[in-house]
Amino acid sequence: MSELALTLVRLAFLGLLWAFVIATVLVLRRDIRQPAEGVGGINGTRAKQKRAPKPPKPPRVARKQKVRGTKLVVIDGPLVGTVIPLEGQQVTIGRAPDSTIVIDDDYASSRHARVYESEGSWVVEDLGSTNGTWIDRVRITTPTVLPVGAPLRIGRSTMQIQK
């Protein structure tokens, strides 16, 4: 093979390698800026993409639940035993130092979730976290009523509202 042909093959290979690296960086950048929504199901398949996003539904309020919780208790994880009184104020959860519950966990986002009162019930909302917010093994993607005693899992920590 001539010297010119060998040089052209090397340059083509180098160009393909750089194209692959750039494509990988673009895909990662897109995924970081627009996290997947609607991930669910047993095998983690994504929900079908809709053409126009629907406005968020108001959280469903359970009519039978007249007695609501008064405290948020961490029942598993590094902060086990931590009790946060719920006095009509919003509770933020995440790695950020200004969060109400600061979780030092690689699986928690800096602004992971918030718990707030709405129409007589406590509602939990995922704030666009990477690894998701889970209520009793179900990943939530919209503001959801958090029943008293239901486990709320964020990263490696589990908490629940108690009376």
Query: Do the Cβ atoms of 114 and 99 come closer than 8 Å?
Result: no
Question: What does the pLDDT average to over 149-153?
Answer: 92
3-state secondary structure of 72: strand
- Determine the Cα–Cα distance for residues 128 and 6; give it in Å rounded to an integer: 50
Report the mean per-residue pLDDT for the chain: 82
Neighbours of 26 (CB within 10 A): 10
Residue whose C-alpha is closest to residue 148's, from 115, 126, 101: 115
User: Structure pTM?
Assistant: 0.57
Distances (CA, A) of 15 to 20, 33, 48: 9, 27, 35
